[in-house]
Structure 1
Amino acid sequence: MCSIGEDDFGDDGAAHAMAVESLPLGIVLSPGNCSKCDVNSDELYKLNFRTAECRECFLAYARHKFRAALGAAKILPRNAEVLLVLDGSAESLVLLDMLHFAQTQNTFKRLHCNARVVYVEEQQVQGRDPVHLEALQNLSTQYAPFDFYVIELGALPSSMQRIKDYSPSLNANNELIHKLQKLRSLTARQDYLQQQRKNLICSVAQCLRCTHVFESNISVDLATQLLTAIALGRGGSAALDVALLDDRLSGDVKLLRPLKDLNEQEIQFYIHAQRLKPLFQKGSRYGREHGQTASLQNLTSAFVANLQQNYASTVSTVFRTGDKIAANSNPEQSSCVHCRSTLDTELSDTLLAIEYSRSVSEAGVSLYKSGQDLEDLAKKRLENKDGLCHACRAIQAELDSGNLL
């Protein structure tokens, strides 16, 4: 493994989102000498915790983080079949560019894996116009010889098409849209949509015989995901939600997050250095156009964004805390049939209190139910053998009619 900039790795600092038609904060346009290679450059990159450096030195530093995340854990076998999930955001384009660069190196430095790319078209579910097909085709040409596929969220894995043969379908998402409309709260809709997307990606990986999936989550995404998981009652599986390796997917498919150590400023600098053009902002995927307080996910995202702006090191602390959480591992314990997390079947005071409160709310001022009756009803709900974890059971409770699956 190379040793570029190992002593300069840090957690602090991340720039705000890049303004339209402007340069990322910290790029020095005046000529100067790179602090690393001492070569004179017309454009220097100044990260918050590093000295100013030229484009080549910055790219080497950022790409080293990507390789180090995979190399340190030794979790990607040689010649593994990899599926890269492209969503058109800046983060996913950076991951695509880094993987393509790693595949085009000489034999010694090359990342030995076979990669395919899938774009999950979810704009119809979100109620927005789809991404221009020409932009996706340009990406497939730019990053040849990767095979590019497109599948619509809510469609069957068998409907996946190569990018050159893709034609949008008007009816593929009707069933998913219908079920989303039955969910009363935006919190439940976003949680359900996220789990459906993960399950679809797993099915696509199995169809393409890929054993590993690359997602483009960076440190601020994982900090948000950690707090969101706890708020939604997924604390038991929160460690896997932010870890480098998530092995909950069916069919022995493993989910990897190789950009987990990068921050927003590094992503924006990389986009500028490589002249990449994101198809849309990542933050708009899960419905944040409804407002910051419309759902738990939106509120948590706004809270973390505020921390990022005013106390950047605190976001890093939240993210690093998630790294230190150890998930309970019991191969004999059953998994949730929806999210694949370990079932929280043990009776806990917290879950009992939640179900007791729900029973009291439903009973109202009824004089026919005593405290013991309500507690028995709460225990009965917890012992319900529906195959769902607590968080997915909460989504089920939000349905006006029908079943979650």
Structure 2
Amino acid sequence: MCQVDDGNFPVLEKKSVIGPNARDCMKCGEKAVVIARIKDAFCRSCFLTYFTHRFRATFGKARLVRDGEKVLFAFSGGQCSSAMVNLVKRGLDQSTHKKLRFIPGLIYIDEGVVTGQSKEERSTTCKRVSDMMKETGFPWCIATLEESLDVPPKTSPSHPEGDNTGKEGDSFHSNQTLTTDELSGKLDEISLDTRRTQECKDLLESMTSLTSKEDLVRNLRIRLLMHKAHQMGYHKIAVGDSGTRLSSGILTDLAKGRGAAIPLGMAFADDRCGDVTLVRPMREFTTKEIVMHNSFFNVDSLFLPTLSTKAGEYASIDTLTESFVNNLQTNFPSTVSTVFRTGEKMCAAETSNSEPDQCCSMCMSVLDTAVGKSSALSATRFSLRMSREGSVGKSRCGADETDDATCSESSSSQCCGQGDGSCHSNTKKGVSFESLGRTLCYGCQVTVRDMKDVSLLPSHVIDEAEKLDRRSRMRDEISDFLLGEES
């Protein structure tokens, strides 16, 4: 007969929950207030020392930034960029041991056009961000995402290293007091409520998926940062990408077919853009550590809406991957570091940086489309071509190919699809989808494929595609007169 107190079964003991109050600081033995990693408990003072040391060590190990060199910090007002700027300000303090030696500058890119904010809302946001930048005492400037549409295909520094001014409207402001009206006037001079604003809206509306929009906005932002750095004589740009964001970005890039760009996309130094190098000094920190740092030391930050704000978990590949990584990190605290260190071991494909044909005209990463006929990419291209020929055809425009030359096979995927016999080809800038695709990496090809009108792409993408297309045709024409390698 069974009894409750039979004693034949072991009694499971409840596992005690280990919190910071039950631990001592691993450095000084004082009462711990935070557990940064799995077993790393710190008091308030030791946590600041630990955080600051790792930040400086990231710069020190790379040995990339020289003493006295100017570094442009991309400031968005968010948690990561606010922590980054606060650490820089603390590291430049005269009383700080082994202080930082570079000269910082701040830039904020207003992306209100992405979320459809009004002129007044964008002016208010810029005023709040400018107040935060002025408190640092660093030189600063404000730009808008619309300016990325005017970025030339190839840029070069227009001013010497010691000059802090660029072209008209790009001057840096240091410790200036701006009223709301003065700031609104400055924004009017840049590109609010202009033709470029409407073109940027049309470009975003032409994208059929949130994933493609996020890719496009990211590329435009990087292009604009590079252009502003060129104009103002900066050769280093620091962004606040955390280790958590980079880890989810690794899986996101794999899902999007951007595996070739992962080594540079998560490295400390990203030099794909030529003489302007993108650095990521916050890559050693998780988002949790950054938020704890800001909370303990009263670092101000802003929450600014983005494309994925209030979007569902399955709204895009980026949001789904981010949710997946964060959920794993909650139950398995080594998830971010494992993914991050695995990504570090990936090697970039060898390519010649002097050959412009090797770079994507949109994201500037290495082209990964030079594959054999039996590859998976070739099979994908064949399937897309057969699907397009079967579903689109000449009936999509309601006109024969002989009646409208713009409805040729090379541009059928970009047909307006009106069905009224009046075709308006989207290749009015002289570049078809096929010609444009030859200058894009696979990931950017997928992004452009989601567009309704490729002519709405920024001018630097179209111009580079046209130039590379002309070079390719010229090379084919003179191929019989070129000496082979064996000669």
TM tier relative to shorter chain: 0.7 to 0.9
1:80 counterpart = 2:69: yes
Task: Select 2:132's aligned residue among 134, 139, 142.
Answer: 139
1:86-120 CA-to-partner distances (Å, cap 9, x unmatched) read 11111111000011111114486121111100111
Give the direction of change, closer, same or farther, for the CA distance of 1:139–1:391 in structure 2 (3 Å limit): same
Q: Secondary structure at the match of 1:248?
A: coil
Q: Indicate how the Cα distance of structure 1 residues 33 and 337 shifts in structure 2: closer, same or farther if over 3 A, else same.
A: closer
1:274 maps to which of 289, 297, 318 = 297
For residues 106-156 of structure 1, what are the alpha-carbon distances to aligned partners after superposition, in whole Å with 9 as ceiling and x for unaligned?
486121111100111112322244463453243234311x11211111125
Q: CA deviation at 1:182?
A: 1.1
Aligned position for 1:94 = 83
Question: Does the aligned pair in 1 maintain the 2:91–2:99 contact within 8 Å?
Answer: yes
Aligned with 2:27 (options 36, 43, 62): 36
List aligned pairs for 1:238-253, cutoff 5 A: 238-250=262-274, 252-253=275-276
Secondary structure at the counterpart of residue 146 of structure 2 = coil
1:399 aligns with 2:388: no
1:343 Cα deviation from its structure 2 partner: 1.5
Secondary structure at the aligned position of 1:290 is classed as coil
Structure 2 counterpart of 1:273, one-letter code:
F
Partner in structure 1 of residue 441 of structure 2? 389
Q: Secondary structure at the match of 1:336?
A: coil
3-state SS in 2 of match to 1:154:
helix
Output the CA distance in 2 between the equivalents of 1:52 and 1:246.
33
Deviations 1:316-348 (A, max 9, x none): 211111111110132244211111111124224
Q: Structure 2 residue aligned with 1:53, among 22, 25, 42?
A: 42
Where does residue 220 of structure 1 map in the other structure?
Answer: 244
Structural mapping, 1:284-303, within 5 Å: 284-303=305-324
Supply the AA of the counterpart residue of 1:150. Answer: I
Give the superposition deviation at 1:189: 1.1
Task: Structure 1 unaligned segments of length 5 or more: list them.
Answer: 1-24, 368-373, 375-380
1:305 aligns with 2:326: yes
Deviations 1:68-95 (A, max 9, x none): 1111121112211100001111111100
Q: What is the CA distance between 1:384 and its match in structure 2?
A: 7.0
Q: Which amino acid aligns with 1:360?
A: M
- Please give the secondary structure, in 1, of the residue aligned with 2:250: helix
TM-score scaled by structure 2? 0.68
| Equivalent in 261, 270, 287 of residue 264 of structure 1 | 287
Q: CA deviation at 1:188?
A: 1.2
Structure 2 letter corresponding to 1:151: A
Largest Rg, 1 or 2: 2
Seq. identity, %? 28
Partner of 2:452, secondary structure, is coil
How far did 1:34 drift? 4.7
Change (3 A) 1:393 1:147: same
Q: Deviations over 1:327-374 (max 9, x none)?
A: 01322442111111111242241211221221232233899xxxxxx9
Could you state the TM-score of these two structures normalised by the residue count of structure 1?
Answer: 0.81
Deviation at 1:298, TM superposition (A): 1.8
CA RMSD of superposed structures (Å): 3.0
**CA distance in structure 2 between the partners assigned to 1:141 and 1:200 by the alignment:** 22
Give the CA deviation at 1:179: 0.7
> Matches of 1:65 and 1:123 in 2, distance apart?
34
Cα distance 1:44–1:385, how it changes in 2: closer, same or farther (>3 A)?
Answer: closer
The aligned counterpart of 1:18 is none
> How far apart, CA to CA, are the structure 2 residues paired with 1:27 and 1:277?
25
Alpha carbons 1:126, 1:287 under 8 Å: kept? no
Q: Deviations over 1:43-86 (max 9, x none)?
A: 83333434543322111100111111111121112211100001
Moved more, 390-399 or 260-269: 390-399
Aligned to 2:337: 316
Q: What is the aligned partner in structure 1 of residue 143 from structure 2?
A: 151
Aligned partners of 1:315 and 1:105: how far apart in 2?
35
CA distance in 2, matches of 1:365, 1:217: 42
The secondary structure found in structure 2 opposite 1:83 is: strand
C-alpha distance 124-26 of structure 1, shift in aligned 2 (>3 A): farther
Of the structure 1 ranges 66-75 and 103-112, higher mean CA displacement relative to structure 2 is found in: 103-112
More displaced 10-residue stretch of structure 1: 215-224 or 313-322: 313-322
Comparing 384-393 with 67-76, greater Cα deviation is found at: 384-393
Could you tell me whether the CA contact under 8 Å between 2:80 and 2:290 is conserved in 1? yes
Per the alignment, in what secondary structure is the counterpart of residue 124 of structure 1? coil
Letter in 1 for 2:295: H
CA distance in 1, matches of 2:337, 2:29: 31
Aligned residues: 364
Aligned to 1:65: 54
Assess if the C-alpha contact under 8 Å between 1:217 and 1:260 holds in 2. Answer: yes
How far is 1:263 from its partner? 1.0
Rounded to whole Å, the distance in 2 between the matches of 1:228 and 1:363 is 31
| Per-residue CA distance 1:250-308 (angstroms, 9 max, x = gap) | 4x100001111101221122111211222016xx5342423221222222222222222
